[in-house]
């Protein structure tokens, strides 16, 4: 090929790249200013109604910011090992489980030691095939939707249109499930047996066993990522 032909080819290639080059995004600063002002007005309004509402708003904003910056998502913790081989989020979730295990056990044991009703016992529910089936269905829904409840809310805040659709149907499904929950509980959920680990292994034994399981899962996740990286 001649030099002139090569030069023209390069020019056409450069022109093509220039045409397909993405336009620079507009500044988001005006939207940020409007959003901050709206939050200030909303915060002032809810504070006038109740001090608790202002704390709820502040906690929600902080929690949402942490989720957005850390990309923390329970769906990603289960999905990423299969799709990308990465287990960073998986291990972060396991660390969160370990911390909350210690914290909640300390709170519950404090009530137990003082002969007070242990908080949260209403969430100790029977374990049966319904638990496994429900978890399987929920897992499918999370992957299809691209996020769990927290991840969906976070991405709605980021402006993802598909997540808005997921949120709408998440609300519809939750309302439907709440409406029919009594029937499911009577016919299926109640057939299982409720298990409270401190009743089986004692308070210390329950914490040790749970932390040991979490530790084994953490090591397995780390080894899994190393094995995937070596391939």
* pLDDT > 70? residue 17: no
For residues 218 and 91, is the Cβ–Cβ distance under 8 A? Answer: yes
pLDDT in tens, 43-72: 778 777 777 787 887 888 888 888 777 777
Beta-bridge mates of residue 126? 194
Give ∠ CA 197-98-206 in degrees, rounded to 5. Answer: 20
- In this prediction, residue 13 has a pLDDT band, given cuts at 50, 70 and 90, of low
Average confidence (pLDDT) over 16-45 = 71
Tell which wins on pLDDT, 118 or 39: 118
Average confidence (pLDDT) over 184-208 = 88
CA distance linking residue 127 with residue 197, whole number of Å: 13
Task: Report the percent of the chain where pLDDT is more than 90.
Answer: 21
For residues 93 and 74, is the Cβ–Cβ distance under 8 A? Answer: yes
Cα 217 to the center of its chain, rounded Å = 18
Per-residue pLDDT at 219:
95
* pLDDT > 80? residue 75: no
* pLDDT > 90? residue 84: no
How far is residue 102 from each of residues 22, 84, 105, 123, 211, measured CA to CA in Å?
A: 50, 31, 5, 17, 9
Total-model pTM: 0.68
* pLDDT > 80? residue 231: no
CA distance linking residue 194 with residue 126, whole number of Å: 4
- In this prediction, residue 193 has a pLDDT band, given cuts at 50, 70 and 90, of confident
Angle between helices 149-158 and 161-187 (to 10 degrees): 160
- In this prediction, residue 19 has a pLDDT band, given cuts at 50, 70 and 90, of low
Per-residue pLDDT at 223:
92
Angle between helices 74-83 and 129-145 (to 10 degrees): 80
76 by Cβ neighbours in 10 Å (0-12 / 13-18 / 19+) ranks as buried
């Amino acid at each position: 090929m001649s030099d002139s032909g090569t030069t023209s080819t390069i020019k056409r290639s450069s022109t093509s790249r220039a045409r397909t080059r993405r336009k620079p995004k507009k500044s988001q600063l005006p939207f940020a200013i409007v959003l901050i002002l709206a939050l200030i007005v909303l915060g002032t309004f809810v504070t006038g109604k109740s001090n608790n509402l202002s704390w709820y708003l502040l906690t929600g904003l902080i929690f949402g910011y942490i989720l957005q910056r850390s990309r923390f998502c329970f769906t990603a913790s289960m999905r990423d090992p299969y799709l990308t081989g990465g287990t960073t989020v998986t291990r972060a979730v396991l660390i969160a489980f370990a911390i909350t295990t210690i914290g909640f056990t300390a709170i519950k044991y404090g009530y137990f030691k003082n002969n007070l009703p242990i908080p949260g016992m209403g969430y100790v529910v029977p374990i049966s095939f319904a638990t496994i089936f429900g978890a399987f269905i929920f897992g499918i829904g999370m992957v299809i939707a691209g996020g769990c409840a927290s991840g969906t809310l976070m991405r709605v805040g980021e402006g993802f249109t598909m997540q808005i659709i997921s949120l709408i149907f998440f609300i519809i499904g939750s309302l439907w499930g709440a409406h029919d929950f009594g029937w499911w509980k009577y016919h299926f959920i109640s057939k299982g047996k409720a298990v409270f680990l401190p009743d089986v292994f004692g308070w210390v034994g329950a914490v040790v066993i749970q932390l040991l399981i979490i530790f084994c899962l953490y090591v397995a996740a780390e080894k899994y990522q190393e094995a995937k990286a070596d391939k």
